[in-house]
Amino acid sequence: MLSVLPVTGNIGAFVEGVDLASEVDETLAEALRQALWTHQVLFFRDQFLDIANLKRVTTRFGPLQRLPYVEAMPDDPDVIGVAKKATDRKVAVFGGNWHSDFSFLGHPPAGSLLTAIEVPEVGGDTVWSNQTAAYETLPDDLKNIVDGRAAIHVGKPHGVKFAPKGRQRSTIKMVRNDPEADRETFHPAVRKHPETGRKSLFLNPVYTARLDGMSEAESAPVLDRLYWHATRPEFCCRHRWQAGDLVIWDNRSTLHFAVNDYDGHDRLLYRTTFSDDHPPRG
Ligand code: SIN
């Protein structure tokens, strides 16, 4: 029997009693979608999904979405291998700063899945933060700034910074495969969730360049205060990976952070992304 067990008072739930490698019928899929919209991140142990099953489970949440800049697996453009080897010391890891996925796109992903193939003996956790709770508890002066305002997101500097020219500086290979992704994109700084109707902060420490109507210099101290609030520990949950885990998160109402504290250990996860019919709306 399906059970959904919250891991903190604000975000994340373990889901038990499901075998995702078997057929996920519509009743189960709907229960899982509702659990995801409610808890924002779902953790499943002992699923050991192969790539075909990972993709099949992904499509129960939305159509598979391919992504610019990051090199997908050579035999499958829908899947990214998030890999760090024991020999990869002092390198940046994919996702190693607070971010939501690909917010510089006109229509950013609705959510993502990671399945753990190989995990370090110590470290390599992932942390998520609830941006609905962050918005709802914003001090009034910050709320007055973000309400009704757009923010400008841009992926280009990161594509340039990590593009493969000589030495690889990240655990994921960056490619310049979509010039459209270089454009500046305006999104509401506060977005309404299409499923729950709740409002979340939608700002991205990696991709948000500035707030609309403000220069980068004017935006920077305001964004710093917003990010400090948005990543407070009480809005967060932290996952200690085991091989066979599957994690699904809602990219519209969370930020996440891959903790890079496991030099000397191998870590390999496979990642898919799904889209929705709803570009961000305020
Ligand atoms: C990501 O940002 O998708 C990577 C997360 C992780 O490797 O823990």
Which amino acids are annotated catalytic? 99, 101, 256, 271
Report the pLDDT value the prediction gives residue 54, as an integer from 0 to 100: 98
What per-residue confidence (pLDDT) applies to 170? 60
Prediction pTM value: 0.94
Q: How far does residue 218's CA lie from ligand 1's centre (Å)?
A: 30
Please report, for the chain, the start and end positions of each structural domain, with discontinuous segments joined by +: 3-272
Nearest residue by C-alpha to atom 5 in ligand 1: 258
How far apart (Å, rounded) are the C-alpha atoms in residues 21 and 211?
43
Tokens of 147: 């309400």
Tens-place pLDDT, residues 238-263:
999 999 999 999 999 999 999 999 99
pLDDT in tens, 86-111: 998 888 888 899 999 999 999 999 99
Report, at the CATH architecture level, how domain 3-272 is classified: 4-Layer Sandwich (3.60)
Among 226, 227, 223, 207, CA closest to 215:
223
Any ligand 1 atom below 6 A from CB of 271? yes
| Alpha carbons 92 and 158: distance in angstroms, whole number | 12
Among 58, 114, 127, 236, the mutation site with the greatest number of ligand 1 atoms within 8 A of its Cβ is 114
